[in-house]
A and B are shown apart, each in its own frame.
Chain A
Amino acid sequence: MLKEINAVLAGFGGQGILFMGKMMAYSGLIDNRELSWLPSYGPEMRGGTCNCSVCLSDEPVCSPLVTAPNVLVAMNRPSYDKFVNTLVPGGILIYDSSLIDVEVERKDIEVYAVPATQLADEKGYKGMANIILLGKLLKVTEFTTMDTMKKTIEKVVPARKQHLIPKNVEAVELGYNA
């Protein structure tokens, strides 16, 4: 388990990047840890690039803006290109290999390629590639427990969409085992 997570999550607007970050943040809240969640809030729109910084720690968070992440989740090529070299040596890269066709050149990082969008489409979780990647992130970094993750899903899924809770749990598990 990573003691301190300084994560950058990045992709297209509309892929649920900020929501994925919020899930991490809420898990930290439930686990009673220190945390921060900082979105990029430029003139961004659906289809544009979008990213957020998430810090999880047992100590108060210093800089909420993550410029040297130890975890990067990339959901499109521009985000991969922009952030891959900011990862600290030994950092963890998780990317959607169905959207990013790339040979990862860095040899000093841990790389996990998950065809999340393809998995989502094939297994009936359309639009939930972000949640699948979150499952992988959970497996690799153990930023929280599966139990907390389930509680997190119950907390963040709005009341009028309660029927989506099991779907989200399944998507996390799908990524976890991918």
Chain B
Amino acid sequence: MSERVLMKGNEALAEAAIRAGCHHFFGYPITPQTELAAYMAKRMPKIGGTYLQAESEVAAINMVQGAAAAGIRAMTSSSSPGIALKLEGISYMCGSDLPAVIINVQRGGPGLGGIQPSQADYNLATKAPGHGDAHILVLAPSSVQEMVDLVAKAFDLADTYRMPAMILADGMLGQMMEPVVLPEEGHAREIEKPWAACGHHGQRKHNIVNSLYLQASELNEIVKKRFERYAKIEETEALAENYMTEDAEYIVTAFGATARIAKAAVREARKEGIKAGLIRPVTLWPFPKADFVKAAETAKAFLSVEMSMGEMVNDVRLAVECKKPVYFYGETGGVIPTPAQVLEQIRKIAGGAE
């Protein structure tokens, strides 16, 4: 096993991408993800890769689109306002069935908002990653180690299903340092891309990467076929961590950095004799419905804790089909909920439901 090293989340994302075989990065600086781009700027020239600071976020995502069309692993990263600018390109990649990884180290919004951590891009990532009928894979790490692990997974899933994948992190995860074990170099999975526009050398018919279909019936069919693929992904790739849920009466749910705060609160609640548990979705799209359906059989109530005004909470309500009450607690604009605040909410729900 490799040595444990201490890294900032942003730097770990960058190194993990390189080790996942991503040698082409196109970015544009924005707090709180700038260390990622800075790390790429330092490392890429040394390994013969590309680091390119584009003239804008829009340019960067279109460069990723071009690189992806040529069949290579490419990545861009930004934070909330910058991601909003990239949505056009992301939609084009969805429409062209192109794999790539997009990192979103979220900050408070709307507008320029602030630079402190937020999770208010949940809806953007899972519901509307650009215009049109489309989904992207959305993975939500909650530690620096998981940032490393999920970057490799994101590239593999993106290549397998030919669609963009987003790592939905936040400023806290991006800025914090934790020990990580990095995967060995040179062990990235290689997934064949016979569709790539990378030169046919007169050996085969040329490939076309395109998202324009002017015949309504043709586009109808293509989108429906793509949704069959989405259905398969929803069936097979959803992932969640269940913590003390077996006998839990009150299920707290949270993703990313907030899940760690929620976990601390769950532990405290257990010490007080409240049977609390935690479901932490690791994939936000596909949403791990089955974990909630199972928990709803025995739990009395759910509490979604988010750094937003309440976005994932709606997916929780859908998953449990409103059979059990689903409460929400959130702080937004860069304010991070504290374990004590979450504990207070658990107590309130436990007291009220008794």
Q: Are these two chains actual partners, yes or no? A: yes
Contact mask B1-41 → A, CB, 8 Å, 1/0? 00011100000000000000000000000011000000000
A19-41 at interface with B (beta carbon < 8 Å): 22, 25-26, 28-29, 32, 34-39, 41
Residues on the B chain within 8 Å of A25, using CB: 6, 177
Which of A29, A42, A64, A67 makes the CB contact (< 8 A) with B179?
A29
Contacts A29-B179, A42-B116: A64 and B6 contacting too (C-beta < 8 A)?
A: no
Once the chains bind, are A36 and B177 in contact (CB under 8 Å)?
yes
A58-102 interface bits toward B, Cβ cutoff 8 Å, 1 = contact, 0 = none: 000111110110000000000000000000000000000000000
Residues of A within 8 A of B339 (CB): 62-63, 67
- The contact string, 1 if C-beta is below 8 Å from chain A, for chain B 187-212, is 00000000000000000000000000
- Chain A proximity of B352: nearest CB distance (Å): 25
Which residues on the B side are within 8 Å of A61 (C-beta)?
A: 178, 260
Q: Is the CB of A26 within 8 A of B6?
A: yes
Which residues of the other chain, A, contact B267 by a CB distance below 8 angstroms?
62
B115: contacting residue among A34, A41, A65, CB under 8 A? A41
16 additional contacts, CB 8 Å, given A37-B176, A61-B260?
A25-B6, A26-B6, A29-B4, A35-B178, A35-B179, A37-B177, A38-B172, A38-B176, A39-B176, A42-B116, A61-B178, A62-B260, A62-B267, A65-B261, A68-B338, A68-B340
Q: Are A62 and B175 in contact (CB under 8 A)?
A: no
Cβ–Cβ contact B172 & A67, under 8 A: no
Residues A64 and B260 in contact in the complex (CB < 8 Å), given A35-B179, A43-B115: yes
Partner of A32, one of B4, B175, B178, B340: B4
Residues of A with C-beta under 8 A to B319: none
* Residues of B within 8 A of A (CB-CB), count: 24
> CB within 8 Å of A: which of B305-354?
336, 338-340
**Residues of B close to A68: CB separation below 8 A:** 338, 340
* Cross-interface CB contact of B31 among A22, A32, A38, A41, cutoff 8 Å: A41
Q: How many residues of A contact B (CB 8 A)?
A: 22
A63 touches B177 (CB 8 A): no
Taking the closest CB of chain A, its distance from the CB of B4, in whole angstroms, is 6
Q: List 21 A-B contacts (CB under 8 A).
A: A25-B6, A25-B177, A32-B4, A34-B179, A35-B179, A37-B177, A39-B175, A41-B32, A61-B178, A62-B260, A62-B263, A62-B267, A62-B339, A63-B260, A64-B172, A64-B178, A65-B261, A65-B338, A67-B338, A67-B339, A68-B338
A-B pairs with the 9 shortest C-beta distances? Answer: A62-B264, A37-B177, A38-B176, A67-B338, A63-B264, A63-B261, A29-B6, A62-B263, A36-B178
> A71 CA to B257 CA in the complex, in Å?
23
Q: Complex: how many Å from CA A63 to CA B115?
A: 20
Instruction: Check if A41 sits within 8 Å of B175, measured CB to CB.
Output: yes
Q: Taking the complex as formed, is B171 at the interface, i.e. its CB lies under 8 A from any CB of chain A?
A: yes
A32 to B3, CA, bound (A): 11
CA distance A168 to B295 in the complex (A): 54
A30 to chain B, nearest CB (A): 10
Give A32 to B4 CA distance when docked, in angstroms. Answer: 8
Within 8 Å CB of B257, what residues of A? 64
Q: How far is B340's CA from A26's CA once the two chains are assembled, in angstroms?
A: 28
* Contact present for A42 and B115 (CB under 8 Å): yes
Nearest CB on B from A68, distance (A): 7
